Chain A
């Protein structure tokens, strides 16, 4: 077994976690995010498709770990990755009466801030679990598991996976999930009942191109300041919804391919979204051998390529659905990992990139966490970042919905920032 390199992560630093096919690697850097120290691999030899950071009661890291012999478990660390809970503490498993067994944990998501330790896990075979005690015990969300559509959700090459969980930031009763295949489903009663929300999302691989469900959605994101607006990277197609998923509109204009897996939204601007287009068909790599992240700054009206610092020749790279993420600093950090074992970081919202690590096992997911209050961490001026910054843009005020009005919850507006978009 490889030597596990210890990494001490300090307050004020950014922690980047890379789940790979052979364990979890950790990287830490100061707010300038230019010099990275490495830790790990933790769970060496075991794939980790899902990672998360929860700070509802101090920092807790989560990892979905697949031991090839002894099965899939959820593990956590309360010391920023230096030590982890053992297999025996994992209680995330299907009840016996379901007749299915846990294959993979695809997504771990803390509920919105102030949720008092509620964590969701999306798994394979497609199902949603919830923990009310910060991961100690888990309960299968029966309303979704028993959905009559379930028998017609079919696995893709990645498996029959529930890979996206979007708890509503202001309404704890409302949860959205996405799966491949199956599409988007939304519950408005805390998970008891679910309805498909795929109107307008095309399915190229079925005779009926616009079915009620069965879409192969790859990732959906939303910004907490504007929760009714959603962006989707579909298996062929980029979409936006302004009615919480009730209807979707195609926004794939100006991208070299509308196929891809990953998607991330800017932490402070609900109109800024990042994707990594891939060639569709069998090749599944970045078009033209150019490693480019694409960004919209206007909610999908147009897209621009971000390539400074990224290889632009013979880069047959693939970025998987959870291998792109952002941090909460300003300017925002953007991170992605590739199947060729590289992790890249941008400390200026994607304007320029640098290599954090190379030679890792294939990267399956990447997550970033700011240790400390991001608003109180001073980011040293990045050369050129201000000069190239977009003009400050005020985020639109969140629309009041029936659900949020009932909850009586106020949204926290997006931070105003002109840097590093």
Chain B
């Protein structure tokens, strides 16, 4: 079953990027789903992950409504027919 990845507005201007990217699943984890996303939209990868493969500090990833910060990080399971949302984390002052 496919899953959808929603990209934030700030990344949609990158070559190949768009608001929603549909990926053919299944995926065992968020990490696996992102690997498929990078194949589809390679320009997004370095904006979301650091050189060491960690999610950038001010980027948040949600599976459904749950932030992966609280569900196992990149190892979080990805249910079928779900949506992964990438959002810039808030920054206050």
Contact = CB atoms under 8 A, between A and B. Distances in A.
B92 A235 contact: yes
B85 interface: yes
Given A154-B69, A206-B62, A218 B92 contact: yes
A261 B65 CA distance: 26
Contact of A180 (B58, B60, B90): B90
A369 to B, nearest CB: 24
A216 B64 contact: no
B70 to A, nearest CB: 6
B28 interface: no
B93 A318 contact: yes
Contacts of B64: 207
Contacts of A282: 10
A208 B64 CA distance: 9
- Which residue among A163, A208, A211 has the maximum number of chain B CB atoms within 10 Å of its CB? A208
Contact of A321 (B83, B87, B90, B93): B93
A181 B65 contact: no
Interface in B39-93: 58, 60, 62, 64-65, 67, 69-70, 83, 85, 87-93
Contacts of A218: 92-93
Nearest to A364: B93
Query: What secondary structure prevails in chain A residues at the interface with B?
Result: loop
Nearest to A321: B93
A261 B90 CA distance: 13
Interface string A130-151: 0000000000000000000001
The contact size tier of chain B is 10 to 19
Contact of A206 (B65, B69, B83, B93): B65
Contacts of A180: 90, 92
Interface residues of A, number: 27
B90 A207 contact: no
Contacts of A154: 60, 67, 69, 89
A98 interface: no
Contact of A216 (B62, B70, B90): B90
A157 B90 CA distance: 7
Given A151-B70, A152-B70, A154-B69, A205 B88 contact: yes
B78 to A, nearest CB: 14
Contacts of A208: 65
Interface in A241-299: 261, 281-282, 284
B70 A207 contact: no
A206 B91 contact: no
Contact of B93 (A152, A261, A281): A261
A68 interface: no
Contacts of A205: 60, 87-90
The 10 closest A-B pairs by CB, nearest first: A157-B91, A158-B92, A156-B92, A156-B90, A216-B90, A180-B92, A208-B65, A207-B85, A320-B93, A156-B91
Given A154-B67, A159-B92, 11 more contacts: A156-B91, A157-B93, A158-B92, A161-B92, A205-B90, A207-B62, A208-B65, A216-B90, A235-B92, A284-B93, A318-B93
Interface of A: 151-152, 154-159, 161, 163, 180-181, 205-208, 211, 216, 218, 235, 261, 281-282, 284, 318, 320-321
